[in-house]
Amino acid sequence: MSTTATAAVLPATGQPFALQEVTLDDPRPDEVLVRIVAAGVCGTDMGVQAGHIPFPLPGVLGHEGAGVVEAVGSSVTTAAPGDKVLLTFTSCGTCPNCLAGHPAYCETFLPRNLVGGARPDGSSPVHGADGDLNAHFFAQSSFATYALAEERNVTVVSQDADLAVLAPLGCGVQTGAGAVFNVLRPTPGSSIAVLGAGAVGLSAVMAAALTGARRIIVADLVDSRLELARELGATHVVNSGETDLETALKDLTGGRGVEYAAETTGLARLLEAGIRALAPMGTIGVIGAPAAGTTAAFDVNFLLNGRGIVGITEGDSVPQLFLPALVELVLQGRMPLEKLIRHYPFDAINDATAAARSGEVLKAVLRVG
């Protein structure tokens, strides 16, 4: 017996989403059927729509889903019907990186999450009037009233959780906050620069404000975003369209440079400036994903003084441990995530993506259920 749902189907590159009736398979032993309450709109979804990410179409996207469990497969033990859950990325659980506690670096991350369009066995869990649709996007495809997820990408949260606020934790917030908490780990008295004040960057700012960092410097082109960054914990802001970024970062640290930096925009010129502004033994995390083949130039000898560059996916998170911790911070008011969000009804998904694409909105969240 299948489940009937309404999904926002992307028919082709560059086309708007269209709401269509679809059917979902019953959960397999390791799957969870979730009634979607809310879903965040992420730059990755828009990257598929724009043709920058080779996810096959027509298909169903969405990878910041939040909802209520409707049914579970026979082997599922970590979720039960009625549980509120957040959906995030999936992983194999058996490769060396997964076994070492780094599922975001799963050796099969790309086909399982980003470009496969199907379960690992090649089947699709979502079917339209004309046959199978490409789905299983981040093992959820949550731009729909129901989604089939894998147990590995489902995290149970408290029953008093506001899913319409927490949905972005599944990707964007997890990525920015995790980069700070899990990877960079600013030490007391240190300085950190966050390059880009979008949803990911501001999530990094909120996390940095909960560490012992003495200087939290945020760079962006939009003054309103920089003002919000100050509200969220930035101690200094830089409009990088008006000021040379490298010079500003060094001036704000007495010429020494920053101990930590997070590049969230995917712009090579900002990454290069961030590298040049590192203090000896400083580290920059590369979070923003540019077009394939993008390169950045830096003086190799500059790195020999202990400076490091590290790529970061999904905040190097173990979601079932990290997401509940973030939920608690939000519920305690210590991560005011609601300041980033604008809600849209599900049938206004094209308005939501347009606002996100233009930068009018930091984080668009669809109210689905």
pLDDT computed for residue 292 by the predictor? 85
DSSP element (H, E) containing 333: none
Residue 291: predicted pLDDT: 84
CATH code assigned at 21:
3.90.180.10
64 and 93 share a domain?
yes
Buried b / exposed e over 111-122, threshold 16 CB at 10 Å, is ebbbebbbbeee
Residue 2: what pLDDT? 86
What's the confidence (pLDDT) of residue 349?
98
Q: Is the pTM of this model over 0.85?
A: yes
Query: What's the pLDDT score for residue 97?
Result: 98
- Report the alpha-carbon distance of residue 276 to residue 307 in Å, rounded: 10
* Greatest C-alpha distance within the chain: 66
Domain holding 222: CATH number? 3.40.50.720
User: What percent of the chain stands above pLDDT 90?
Assistant: 97
DSSP 8-state secondary structure symbol assigned to residue 76: -
Q: What is the pLDDT of residue 209?
A: 98
Q: Could you give the number of structural domains in the chain?
A: 2
Residue 325 lies in a domain: no
Q: What is the pLDDT of residue 1?
A: 58
Residue-range definition of the domain harbouring residue 48: 3-170+336-367
323 domain residue, yes or no? no
Q: Which amino acid is at 109?
A: F
Amino acid at 71: A
Task: Report, as ranges of residue numbers, the positions in the chain whose pLDDT lies below 50.
Answer: none
pLDDT at 369: 83
What residue ranges in the chain does DSSP mark as E strands? 3-10, 18-24, 31-40, 59-60, 65-72, 84-87, 126-128, 131-132, 146-150, 154-157, 191-195, 215-220, 236-239, 258-263, 278-286, 308-311, 341-345, 363-367
Looking at residue 152, its pLDDT comes to: 97
pLDDT tens-place string over residues 107-147: 999 999 999 999 999 999 999 999 999 999 999 999 999 99
Mean pLDDT across the chain? 97
Given a contact cutoff of 8 angstroms between Cβ atoms, the answer to whether 69 and 93 are in contact is: no
Assess if residue 321 is contained within a domain: no
